[in-house]
Amino acid sequence: MEEDISRRCRGTKGKFCRHYWEQTPIAASPAPRGSQQCPNDCSGAGVCNADTGRCACMAGWDGGDCSVRDERPCTNTWRTTGTAVMKAPASLSEPGWTASRCGGGVCDTNLGACYCNGTKGHVPAAPDTLPGTLFSQRGRPMILGQCNPSKDDDGNPTDWAFVDPELLYGSQGWCEADEPVHHCACLIDGVAGPTCDEPTEMFCPNQCSGRGECWFGFCRCHHGWYGHDCAQLASGAPITGRLLHEAPWLEDVTVEPSVSDKLPEKDAGLRMRPLIYMVELPPIYNSRMLQYRIHKDTCTWRGFDSGNASFITDWTYQIEPALHEMLLQSPHRTLDPEAADFFYVPVYTSCFIHPVYGWADTPWFHNPGSPRVMHAATMMLEAKRWLETELPYWNRTGGRDHIWLISHDEGSCWAPSEIRSSIILSHWGRKALDHESYSAYPFDNYSDNAVHPEWRPHGWRHIIEGHPCYDPDKDLIIPAFVPPARIVPSPLTGAREDPRPLLLFFRGDVGLNRRPHYSRGIRQRIYALSKEQRWREKYRIWIGTKEDTPGGYSELLSSSKFCLVVPGDGWSPRAEDAMLHGCVPVVVNDGVDQVFETLLDWEEFAVRIPEREMEFLPEILLSISPSRLQQLQKGVRRVWHRFMYRALPLLRRELLSLGAVDEQPELGQYASQIDPRLLAQVGEDDALTTLMQWLYERMKQEANI
């Protein structure tokens, strides 16, 4: 036991890792069973939370019993005053565009999604059907201007769409023919195949535990079950089994929450702390964002394709849904808030920022306009005030035991001041108290006060001022989510360890077409130096875009002694890329903590160079002796596994099977070399386990135990 703990905890600071593994497990208690009734049983358009007696309504419905229409019309513009949501324009040729605009099709006003109008068209539910009735015919999607007509019925051109109407509505068109001559992309969740006629599973966190039907991210739980993922059971309701035998494709993505079956009839067993309660927020803060996302590859870390085959997306902010799902599936989850050590608050701010923001003229927090982060901050502030008034747990500690994830570019720089007492997880460790936005994207510039005479006469920055982006005493910088495909060709996951001929490597956006403050000017300056001083020819330092640095990204990382870690608009997953390929990180980013920097001894595996010394990069790296380089490389190998998430079953499967995927033949040579021990739960601690260890230490310090 002692030897195993010492091995697991090597490379860590303090005793947080050791304390976690040395803890005495506690007895698990039966899951509570709520007994509250909901008005009208949520009218068939929602799920009754038996703990609170409140309905969680699916998109398109609102009110205490989910019987009130809450539409999201497809429109061509945002409102500029008032609160009335803009609807569809009278004519296709009327100017203006939002991503929801629907050219001669049928708008699903529950979601703001455009479908065909014709033989293959969308047929909404009849007016006299119950709330929550979905449709009579789904229809083929017509998403974005690439699948909308370039002319109106009178032949007048549209300035926002690009497809000849004959290709859509002619006899052989997309909206009419079984085998059309023109095809539109199956962007929306729930369909696949060349004509989007093949129904597929949709993404929901933990796929509703196998006890509900997923509808665009909202779990329509089976009778008696409720919660984020239908893991909770109402008092008096029968204990029904999961229906995975009817949907075997869910086996790799669904986990029975370890607490849901700990009912009085069953043995409770033992558990390790911390215990984390997943706060049941109103849907607008999470599942409604999933329903409104429209593009199925966004706001998720995985999805379903033809034949219900799972795939992993490349959405930048995958950690938002992935961490939510990891915690829902974690043995550290508790369904009893009274037993919880911490409360996780799942607010999908990155999903709102893109793609929900501006798709239609709703939702806003609370009126149109930029910056996007203003809406995200207001969204979090609303959620915090809901916690204060609707549940007793926030006020017990002033929110100190509540956990928020803010995964967007500049982390919690724009977080509302009222949540700063909480634990904030992010990827951006900027510590300065007085700070301005570094984002080169105007819509994300939190320094923009966005004064509006009607909606925001005093702007909005007053809700976020007075705190650093990150407080190392209470917050944590966690790794970005790196899909398995990015690391399969790494020598740390079984690929052959070859010599590392490159001294330093960086590939990415070097700010050639960016505003000067992008990356604080760091990428631009280093790229210019590398060109002016011919670093590539003199030192084998490869810095640049894909055109400057040809070859496979993973292979180049694995061929480099050092890898550059510099900011982008905020965080960038360069440290993760380096660590997961055995490359020593070289950090040029003053005043910004890196991943787990408060938990791991970065001096043992990384080099930090002040921004003022950028021009001396070659000399500094060449001055590092071979023995010191070897020490740093050994340091990387001690802790690299803490930069990777492998808690989700699909991730473990993907790490084993990616090499056999036909679409990625370049990975095939590595498939047989991947070490199965990499995936074992009894193996090294991953990023999620590291987070649990840190929370356990926080819990001990808070309780003084």
Of 48-52, 131-135, 627-631, where does mean pLDDT reach its minimum? 131-135
Which residue type occupies 687?
A
Q: What is the torsion angle, in degrees rounded to the nearest 10, for the CA atoms of residue 428, residue 433, residue 439 and residue 440?
A: -140
Residue 145 pLDDT grade (very low, low, confident, very high; cuts 50, 70, 90):
confident
The count of structural domains within the chain is 3
**C-alpha–C-alpha distance, residues 99 and 143, integer Å:** 8
Position 334 pLDDT exceeds 90? yes
Of 92-96, 103-107, 125-129, 681-685, where does mean pLDDT reach its minimum? 681-685
Q: Please give the pLDDT value at position 258.
A: 58
Take residue 590 and report the two structure tokens written for it. Answer: 């003053």
Instruction: Judge if 472 and 499 occupy the same domain.
Output: no
- Percent of the chain predicted with pLDDT > 70: 93
pLDDT, one tens digit per residue, over 271-286 is 999 999 999 999 999 9
Instruction: Judge if 320 and 278 occupy the same domain.
Output: yes
Q: Please give the pLDDT value at position 656.
A: 65
Instruction: Judge if 362 and 388 occupy the same domain.
Output: yes
pLDDT, one tens digit per residue, over 339-356 is 999 999 999 999 999 999
**C-alpha–C-alpha distance, residues 362 and 407, integer Å:** 23
Long-range contacts, stretch 225-230, CB < 8 angstroms, 24+ apart:
226/34, 226/47, 226/48, 226/49, 226/50, 226/51, 226/56, 227/49, 227/278, 227/280, 227/335, 228/278, 228/280, 228/286, 228/287, 228/324, 228/328, 228/346, 229/204, 229/205, 229/257, 229/328, 230/47
Q: Please give the pLDDT value at position 268.
A: 53
Q: Please give the pLDDT value at position 682.
A: 39
Take residue 594 and report the two structure tokens written for it. Answer: 């890196």
Residue 668 pLDDT grade (very low, low, confident, very high; cuts 50, 70, 90):
very low
Q: Please give the pLDDT value at position 657.
A: 59
Instruction: Judge if 629 and 507 occupy the same domain.
Output: yes
Residue 659 domain-assigned?
no
pLDDT, one tens digit per residue, over 509-522 is 999 999 999 999 99
Q: Compute the average pLDDT of residues 19-33.
A: 92
Residue 703 domain-assigned?
no
Q: Compute the average pLDDT of residues 54-64.
A: 98
Instruction: Judge if 328 and 448 occupy the same domain.
Output: yes
Q: Which of 146, 167, 199 is the last residue of a domain?
A: 199
pLDDT, one tens digit per residue, over 163-202 is 999 999 999 999 999 999 999 999 999 999 999 999 999 9
Residue 567 domain-assigned?
yes
Domain interval for residue 174: 82-199
Residue 264 domain-assigned?
no
Instruction: Judge if 537 and 414 occupy the same domain.
Output: no
Residue 13 domain-assigned?
no
Q: Please give the pLDDT value at position 441.
A: 94
Position 244 pLDDT exceeds 90? no
Residue keyed to tokens 């939702």: 363
Instruction: Judge if 505 and 468 occupy the same domain.
Output: no
Q: Compute the average pLDDT of residues 586-615.
A: 98
Q: Which of 184, 199, 214 is the last residue of a domain?
A: 199
Q: Please give the pLDDT value at position 683.
A: 56
Mean of the per-residue pLDDT values for the chain? 92
Residue 679 pLDDT grade (very low, low, confident, very high; cuts 50, 70, 90):
very low
Residue 550 domain-assigned?
yes
3-state SS assignment for residue 202 = coil
Q: Please give the pLDDT value at position 496.
A: 84
- Percent of the chain predicted with pLDDT > 90: 82
Q: Which of 199, 227, 242 is the last residue of a domain?
A: 199
Q: Please give the pLDDT value at position 262.
A: 44
Instruction: Judge if 525 and 414 occupy the same domain.
Output: no
Ramachandran angles phi, psi of 326, nearest 5°: -60, -45
Instruction: Judge if 527 and 620 occupy the same domain.
Output: yes
Q: Give, for 484, the enclosing helix (H) or strand (E).
A: none
Instruction: Judge if 470 and 574 occupy the same domain.
Output: no
E-strand spans in 400-479?
A: 402-405, 423-426, 429-430, 476-477
CA 61-65-67 angle, 5° bins:
45
Residue 239 pLDDT grade (very low, low, confident, very high; cuts 50, 70, 90):
confident
Distances from the Cα of 609 to the Cα of 34, 149, 586, angstroms: 56, 54, 7
Q: Please give the pLDDT value at position 485.
A: 84
Of 145-159, 447-461, 597-611, 629-643, where does mean pLDDT reach its minimum? 145-159
pLDDT, one tens digit per residue, over 465-481 is 999 999 999 999 999 99
Residue 41 domain-assigned?
no
Q: Please give the pLDDT value at position 489.
A: 81
Position 225 pLDDT exceeds 70? yes
Which residue type occupies 534?
R
Q: Give, for 374, the enclosing helix (H) or strand (E).
A: helix 372-390
Residue 49 domain-assigned?
no
**C-alpha–C-alpha distance, residues 593 and 476, integer Å:** 9
CATH number of the domain enclosing 495: 3.40.50
Position 705 pLDDT exceeds 70? no
Position 633 pLDDT exceeds 60? yes
Instruction: Judge if 492 and 449 occupy the same domain.
Output: no
Burial class of residue 389 (count of CB atoms within 10 Å of its CB; 0-12, 13-18, 19+): exposed
pLDDT, one tens digit per residue, over 85-119 is 999 998 898 999 999 999 889 999 999 999 999 99
- In 222-335, which residue ranges form alpha helices assigned H by DSSP? 287-292, 319-329
Instruction: Judge if 466 and 519 occupy the same domain.
Output: no
